[in-house]
Amino acid sequence: MEFLTTKQAAELWGISARRVALLCAQGRIPGTVKAGKTWLLPPDAQKPLDPRLGKAATDKL
């Protein structure tokens, strides 16, 4: 199975690799696997919504 690294996901989502790693550590991205110090994400992983935006912001998506 092919996986994405935090750096690859960061480039796709327009956020930092550190932020992707934090999202993985918090369990907010399903299907992630930690291999040593590296988080591996499934290729179909979606960027989680920011809970600070609230319901009104998610209605626009």
d(CA 10, CA 21): 9
Query: By C-alpha distance, which of 52, 57, 38 is closest to 10?
Result: 38
Query: Looking at the predicted structure, is the pLDDT value of residue 54 above 90?
Result: no
Mean of the pLDDT values across residues 47-51?
A: 88
Q: Give residue 52's pLDDT band: very low, low, confident or very high (50, 70, 90).
A: confident
**Single-letter amino acid code for the residue at 54:** G
Q: In the prediction, which pLDDT does 13 show?
A: 95
pLDDT digits (tens, 9 = 90+) for 1-34: 699 999 999 999 999 999 999 999 999 999 999 9
In whole angstroms, how large is the CA radius of gyration of the chain? Answer: 12
- Cα–Cα distance, 55 to 20 (Å, whole number): 22
State the sign of the Cα–Cα–Cα–Cα dihedral 50, 16, 47, 29.
negative
Summary mean pLDDT of the chain: 89
